[in-house]
Amino acid sequence: MSAPLVSLLGCCQRSSRLLVARRPWSSSPVSSPPMHTRLLLFLTQRFYDVEMLLRWKSRMKRRGLQKKNAYYSYTQGLYGADIAAAYYVLCLRGGFRFVGQSEWFRVDRKGKFKWDFLSYKDTPLEEADMSYTIINYIGLSNLEGQKSLRTLSLRGCSEVDDWFLARLHVFQDSLKDLDISHCPRITTGGLAALRNLKGLRRLDVSALPGISTPGLVIILLEEMLPHCEVIASGYDHSLEPEGVDEERSQG
Amino acid sequence: MSTWRSLCANVRTLRVLLTFRRVAPDPRRPCGLVASRRSLSTGTPLRNDFFKDLEAKLAATRKKARDALPGSAWSPLHINPNLPPERTDIVIVGGGVVGWAVAYWLKKKEGIRGGLKVVVVEKDTTYSRASTVLSAGGIRQQFSLLENISLSMASADFLRNINEHLGVLNEDPVDVQFNQAGYLLLASDKAAHIMEDNYHTQRAAGAQVSLLSPTQLKETFPWMNTEDVALASYGVENEGWFDPWTLLNALRRKAISMGVVQCCGEVTGFKYSSNEVMTEDGQRLELRRIKSVQVQMPNSLEFQPVECAVAVNAAGAFSAKLAHMLGAGLGPEDTLAGIPIPVEPRKRFIYVFHCPDGPGLDTPFLVDQSGVYFRREGFGGNYIAGRSPDQGEEPDVANLDVDHQFFQDKIWPELAHRVPAFEKLKVTSAWAGYYDYNTLDQNGIVGTHPLVSNMYFATGFSGHGLQHSPAVGRAVAELILDGGFSTVDLSRLGFRRIADREPVLERNIV
């Protein structure tokens, strides 16, 4: 009885932990977070239990992500690599199209899909639409064997980062169309990894929040991939920064 | 002191304001009597400052009352708050990236919260001469030694999942600015077979490397002159460069949040117990065991002996000096005690230059067969270049002054030969840093000393310390806590090869 009480009332003994955990909100450019977040953080700095619960929550979330992106070795063993890849795409709520077929296999709003794709044995995927899914670096191992993948759409994927782009080199011979717009985690260092995709003809890098100087980076990308059409919309290419305009009007 | 001064300043301004008000003339009085209105008191007017000081006085009284109660840290003898604790479990000497990686992994493996007390001692917290922050920051898997390849791959895995490892609740996510541009190693005719052998070793270990012929090289990098290149080895994945300062700070922040104590001080000595044993062939050996580490405060004679169970030598270029304090290398020539730690500081230069027409976004970290290397820095046409000097032409290590003539004589001609666009360049800046150079075989030393049973070494990486640091940190933590290596087996990089004088050589080094 006393032990839970003690733990509930326990304060963080090490002041260094507090100093690190406490974040001065005034230094962040974003406005101060909502009330419940601030309350949670206040409690985390004072109670071990709350800290543990928050850490569990993030760990569970990460574990769920890894589980969804795990290597589908069982399916591969039973049905072959192509069906396993197709199944993986559908499980992540994406869509795909087989080589030589014209119909797309997609998921409906509730996440259910038809099992017709099982009848196409040993047919590799030609186009995969993984937009707004949680595909990540580990999940790409399910698609690695697809040597005929021509189109890959990763629009708005929140887990696609620079390392994912580096791993795309497995599709260097076949990939012709890549869409990585609206991915929040991609930075300019990762765009350098696209140098391996020599067959790329169309690249969509619109509205990437992680790029700081979009104009320059787009020019460098176009130089790096001379045969590729680079589409980059959604960037503000205006020459004057906002602050300078205000000063000019006042002065 | 400054609050007292500001308090006085406030008092003075208040006094000025108050006296000014009193001097304002009263229209009913004749002018000549205005002067008599001025206050003749020169003391501080107590009444008006009373409420301003009240808050501060109450806080001071509260603090005094809290200190007087039992359980407070106050003591009548003034103790320097920067001293390290009197006793701890593990002392890590050296606060570079290797030292903090070891600290982080030790805390990660401790099992229960607070199960291990770790202190990291760093003599210069500005890191002005530390190898970590002066490094070019590259990471590659293109080595010939399997241990090095595995270490690099494990470190790349760590960097990929860096936020899972080093993310602190409520802090910004860590962004090491990893440029996924790969390494490109060039080989002449004579060295092509070595490169092929290395390629097979690397592929067998799982590294994503590809070989390029001169024609393929010219296709991929049209800005390069491929005249005398026989073969090139290109890293496709997990290779590139990143910001070492961010990694260091992320490791430090996470380790401190887990309870590691950082101490700014210099280790000036050890207290150890000795035990003399006789070997089978009649040799007398003095086995030493560290009892405490003497840590001296910066710019002061004050020191604190820190009792510890284990000491980790992660002092980088200055590791030999530390081992000297334990008597390693001071014994007679042919004995085990006479073998010194073969790590010494070697100065290396890095030059930053600007070239407007240089290679673009896909510039890899190019290592030429002459030993010259360069990589892109940022996106404005700036590049970083360097070269290991030849044997016998090593620069003086007493200071970190840059020799600009070295660039003119040894680096620029090779650069211009390899990349014709670099004939027109302008050096904008340069710096120098130390390699913790292992004179025996230029590979790291990881393990215990045969004569000092509780000192663990993690040094001598000769330019690869940064790229191996997360994996080496984990290996040393496993060695200390589990007694052996489990993830990467570094037994070949231990002390045995130093004692037997059998180098474990790497077949290409930059």
Residue B181: which of A20, A163, A192 has the nearest Cβ? A192
Whether the CB of B180 is below 8 Å from some CB of chain A: the reply is: yes
Per-residue model confidence as pLDDT tens digits over A175-230: 999 999 999 999 999 999 998 888 999 999 999 998 988 999 999 999 899 999 99
Measured CA to CA in angstroms, residue A40 lies from A4, A32, A33 at distances of 19, 14, 11
Whether the CB of B124 is below 8 Å from some CB of chain A: the reply is: no
Q: CA-to-CA distance for A75 and B505, rounded, in angstroms? A: 45
Residues of chain B with Cβ-Cβ distance to A228 below 8 Å are none
Residues of chain A with Cβ-Cβ distance to B240 below 8 Å are 189, 192
Q: Provide the pLDDT for residue B9.
A: 59
Instruction: Mutate one of A196, A200, A216 to test the B interface: name it (highest B CB count within 10 A).
Output: A196
Residues of chain B with Cβ-Cβ distance to A189 below 8 Å are 177-181, 240
Residues constituting chain B: 510
Q: Is the pLDDT reported for residue B6 higher than 70?
A: no
Note whether ipTM > 0.90 here: no
Q: Indicate the average pLDDT of chain B.
A: 89
Residues of chain B with Cβ-Cβ distance to A192 below 8 Å are 179-181, 240, 361-362
Residues of chain A with Cβ-Cβ distance to B175 below 8 Å are 187
- Specify burial of residue B281 (Cβ count, 10 A radius: 0-12, 13-18, 19+): exposed
Q: Is the pLDDT reported for residue B509 higher than 50?
A: no
- Taking CB atoms and an 8 Å limit, are B181 and A193 in contact across chains? yes
Residue A20: which of B236, B257, B261 has the nearest Cβ? B257
Residue A221: which of B170, B180, B361 has the nearest Cβ? B361
Average pLDDT over every residue of B430-442: 93
CB within 8 Å of chain A, chain B residues 134-163: 160
Q: CA-to-CA distance for B438 and B440, rounded, in angstroms? A: 5
Per-residue model confidence as pLDDT tens digits over A25-70: 444 555 677 898 889 888 988 998 998 899 899 999 999 999 999 9
Q: Provide the pLDDT for residue B352.
A: 96
Which of the 8 DSSP states describes residue B407?
I
The answer to whether B361 and A220 have CB atoms below 8 angstroms apart is: yes
- Taking CB atoms and an 8 Å limit, are A187 and B177 in contact across chains? yes
Per-residue model confidence as pLDDT tens digits over B280-339: 888 888 899 999 999 999 999 999 999 999 999 999 999 999 998 888 888 777 778 888
The percentage of residues in chain B with a pLDDT greater than 90, rounded to a whole number, is 70
Reported confidence tier of residue B170, pLDDT bands at 50, 70, 90: confident
Q: Provide the pLDDT for residue A24.
A: 45
* Backbone φ/ψ region at A65: left (φ over 0), alpha (ψ -120 to 50), beta: alpha
Nearest CA in chain A to B234: A196
Average pLDDT over every residue of B190-198: 91
Per-residue model confidence as pLDDT tens digits over B115-142: 999 999 999 999 999 999 999 999 999 9
* Model confidence, pTM: 0.85
Q: Provide the pLDDT for residue A23.
A: 46
Nearest CA in chain B to A213: B379
Per-residue model confidence as pLDDT tens digits over B89-99: 999 999 999 99
For B426, the token pair is 């302008």
Nearest CA in chain B to A162: B180
Q: Give the minimum alpha-carbon distance from A110 to chain B in angstroms, rounded to a whole number.
A: 31
Q: Provide the pLDDT for residue B422.
A: 94
Q: Provide the pLDDT for residue A41.
A: 87
Q: Is the pLDDT reported for residue B2 higher than 80?
A: no
For B372, the token pair is 């010259």
Q: CA-to-CA distance for A208 and A196, rounded, in angstroms? A: 20
Nearest CA in chain A to B262: A16
Q: Provide the pLDDT for residue B32.
A: 47
Residues of chain A with Cβ-Cβ distance to B263 below 8 Å are none
Per-residue model confidence as pLDDT tens digits over A60-107: 999 999 999 999 999 999 998 999 999 999 999 999 999 998 999 999
In this structure, the dihedral spanned by the alpha carbons of residues A215, A221, A227 and A233, taken in order and rounded to 10 degrees, is -40
Average pLDDT over every residue of B472-481: 97
Instruction: Mutate one of A38, A49, A162, A194 to test the B interface: name it (highest B CB count within 10 A).
Output: A162
Whether the CB of B257 is below 8 Å from some CB of chain A: the reply is: yes
Residues of chain A with Cβ-Cβ distance to B360 below 8 Å are 220, 223-224
Residues of chain B with Cβ-Cβ distance to A55 below 8 Å are 169
Whether the CB of B168 is below 8 Å from some CB of chain A: the reply is: yes
